[in-house]
Each structure stands twice: as structure tokens, then as C-alpha cells.
Amino acid sequence: MSVDLAVVGLGYVGLPLARQACDAGLATVGFDIAPAVVETLSSGRSHVHDVSTDDIARMRETGFTASLDPAIIATADTVVICVPTGLSPEGAPDLGAVRAAARTVGARLRPEMLVVLESTSYPGTTEEVLLPILESVSGMAAGKEFHLAFSPERIDPGNRRFTVGNTPKIVSGVTPLCAKYCAAFYGRFIDTVVVARGTREAEMAKLLENTYRYVNIALVNEMTVFCETMGIDAWDVLHCAGTKPFGFARFKPGPGVGGHCIPVDPLYLSSKAQSEGFTFSLLSAARDVNDGMPGYVVGRAAAMLAGQGIDPADAEVLLLGVTYKPDVPDVRESPAAGVAEGLRALGTTVAYHDPYVAEFAVAGGSIVGSADLPAALARADLAVLLQDHACYDSAVLARLSRSLLDTRGKVAGSRVEML
């Protein structure tokens, strides 16, 4: 029995994609190498915040199955690869998961099958990495015997306005016919399809999107640090500049950048540029600024404690919100880790409160969590608002905190300092 779609990698990208396909009536299955993921989905539960238990139940009613057996891939007309693309310990692109997925899919390729890579990577990955493996393992030629394409994911965890279905989808192919098949496939369950000239253009477009954010976040972060030295209210500056209806896109400062995309994707771009003998000097400068923000927050916290006559080594600091973005249970690359480690290096006792995170581990061991926010605020010499979850009432934080450093521009009060 054949199905319309097999999703390889059922994480933050793959599972929402599978849900959208199921909702549109496509017969869909999923493959993952993690037993815990498959077991969770098979029991009717979800491990991804944006996909609910009700979603999983609805998917299963359509016939969706998650499997550890790669044989399920061979049943599909289209295979979409949604595996992680992270960094090596040295900070270089790590395509190990993409290569492994390519070997797995290649061994089960059938004539006329469409294979799409959605994992973010540097320009050339589809044709230089994925294509040779698929052709070598399968013995078939891309663009002739099977179709190969790249379509960058645009998942924004926690975003209820823009989802898989209504976010325009960039598609491409190693040949015009491959691109045509890719566009036809996504057109079955996504509102708007945008055809790129080629796979490199589509790969580069994804990196540009996230590098744009990375560089502009660095700009406002550095501006905020400068405003502090000048005694200027950076948040009022941002408010005023943000009233311009053209030529200005507002970005907000914060304790650093986090998540799987923003801190990682620009490094894929700079790595590829270096291999081509090109230097992205702007990226290097942005990285220096963003990587330095956790340390800047630690310095501001220490100064606030000193202003109260408290030695950081004798203080307890409460971190409020340790996820990388508001209202999601995701701590990947969260700048909260750097803040916690920096405070600990000063001898400070560090605790945290976050309703989305049951355990927060950093270098040197886990941070003690507290479920009782009022008690935690009363106990701490200083609270640092790192993430503005909707559950944090600014008036409550201002009233109950002995002292508060607000890195998100949300709280006002006599005992509050803004980043």
C-alpha cells in the first residue's frame, strides 16, 4: 500500500508538517530514529509544543503512523527530510543527520519518488551532499529517475497567526521538472507556493531570512549597551523609531539570541563563505555582540547588587524565564544558560522560575527551580527577567521583587532597571 507522504524526522519541523498534510487529506506516515518520539506519538501524545494531543488523535484517525522501521519510507510517493542541522563542538556545520537520512532514504528510493530536504543548511547542500548519496545508494539518477528538491522550513514555534498552512512556501528543484513536482506537492496543502530559481537560491533565502534577524538583533543590542553608557532610555528610542511607517523594522534587545535557527544558521552562511574565500565581516561583528550579551547582563546584575551593598558571592539571583522565546518549552541555545553560568562564576547562588521548564541544566550542573513565584521573588536579592512569558504580570514583578533587572522592557517601578 502506498501513501502520499513520509516525513523523516518528527520534531519541531516534521511533526507540524505531518499534521498539516493529514488535515489536508494526504495519507501520511512518519519515521524517526528516536524510540521515545515514536513511543510518545504511538500512545497518542505529542512531544512538540505546537502540536496538541487532539492534533495527534486527529492525525491517527486519518491513518498517520510513526515508526522506527525505515521500510515505511518505501511506501511513500514523496519523502520530506526534516532532520536537525546543528553545529559540531568546533562550531562548524554538522550535516551528520542529513547524510544519515540520505542513506536511509536512498536505500528505499523508488522510480518517480519525490525527495525534499527541508533542513536548513548552506547553499549547495542539496546538490553537493544529498544528491550524491541518494544516487550512489539507490543507483538511480536525480532529475531523471527520481525527483529531488529543497524547500526550507519556516516554522515559528508558538506563532498562532502564521502556521505551516498559511506561511508562503519556497520550493526548488535540481531540475525544472523536479521543481514542478515539488510545487505541485506542497500546493496540495499550503496556501502559497513560491518557486525559486534553483536549490542554491532557496537554501540561501532561508539563511538570509535568519541572518537578517541575527544582524538586526545585534544592532539593537549594541545600541542598548551604548545608550546605557550615555544615560539614554533605549526603550524610548526604540518606541519612537518604531513609529516610522516606512524604512524601519523594529527589533528588540535582549540577553542574547537562542533557539535552533537564529544563533546557528548565520554560522552555516559564514562557514560556506569562508570555504569560498569570502569573509562576512558583518556576521562576525554581529556574533561578537550577541555572544557578549549574557556577560553584559551578568555585569549589570552584579552592579545592581553592588549598588545595594551586596557582594555577588553572597547573593541569590532569580532568573525569570529560561526558554529562548516566550511561551514555548524550548531551551535550545537559550542565553539564560550563559547568564546562569556567568553569575555562578561570581559565586552567586542562582535559582530560576519558568512554568515551561521542569529542569534547567547548564555547565556545572542543574539550576534549582521554584514553582512558587512570590516566595522565590521574596527570597532573591535580585530577579532578572530574561523571558517575557505571558504569565508574568509586570505589576506583580515590580511589587514583589526586592530588585529587578528587566531585559525585555516590560516592567516599570522604583526597584526596576531596564537592560
Give this prediction's pTM. Answer: 0.93
pLDDT for 388: 95
pLDDT digits (tens, 9 = 90+) for 6-30: 999 999 999 999 999 999 999 999 9
pLDDT for 87: 86
Half-sphere exposure of 218 (CA within 13 A, CB side): 20
Average pLDDT over residues 120-131: 97
In the predicted model, is pLDDT for residue 261 greater than 90? Answer: no
pLDDT digits (tens, 9 = 90+) for 19-67: 999 999 999 999 999 999 999 999 999 999 999 999 999 999 999 999 9
pLDDT digits (tens, 9 = 90+) for 239-252: 999 999 999 999 99
Cell 491517527 found at: 60
Confidence of residue 349 (pLDDT cuts 50, 70, 90): very high
Could you tell me if 347 and 305 are in contact, meaning their C-beta atoms sit under 8 angstroms apart?
Answer: no
pLDDT for 133: 98
Average pLDDT over residues 261-266: 89
Confidence of residue 91 (pLDDT cuts 50, 70, 90): confident
Cell of 191: 496556501
Alpha-carbon distance 70 to 173, whole Å? 24
Alpha-carbon distance 164 to 5, whole Å? 16
Confidence of residue 381 (pLDDT cuts 50, 70, 90): very high
pLDDT for 120: 95
pLDDT for 98: 97
Burial of 174 (0-12, 13-18, 19+ CB in 10 A): buried
Alpha-carbon distance 344 to 294, whole Å? 13
Q: Do 3-197 and 288-418 fold alike per CATH?
A: yes
Q: Under CATH, domain 3-197 is a member of which superfamily? A: NAD(P)-binding Rossmann-like Domain (3.40.50.720)
Average pLDDT over residues 341-367: 95
Could you tell me if 115 and 147 are in contact, meaning their C-beta atoms sit under 8 angstroms apart?
Answer: yes
From 194, 200, 238, 196, select the one nearest 216 (Cα to Cα).
238
Q: Mean pLDDT over all residues of the chain? A: 96
Radius of gyration of the chain (CA): 23
In the predicted model, is pLDDT for residue 1 greater than 80? Answer: no
Average pLDDT over residues 173-195: 98
Q: Which residues are catalytic?
A: 261
Q: Across the chain, which distance is largest between two alpha carbons, in Å?
A: 73
pLDDT for 364: 87
Average pLDDT over residues 205-218: 96
Say how many C-beta atoms besides its own lie within 10 A of residue 216's C-beta. 15
Q: What is the CATH architecture of 288-418?
A: 3-Layer(aba) Sandwich (3.40)
Average pLDDT over residues 348-363: 96
Could you tell me if 290 and 333 are in contact, meaning their C-beta atoms sit under 8 angstroms apart?
Answer: no
Give the domain ranges of the chain.
3-197, 288-418
Give phi and psi for 367, each to the nearest 5.
-90, 140
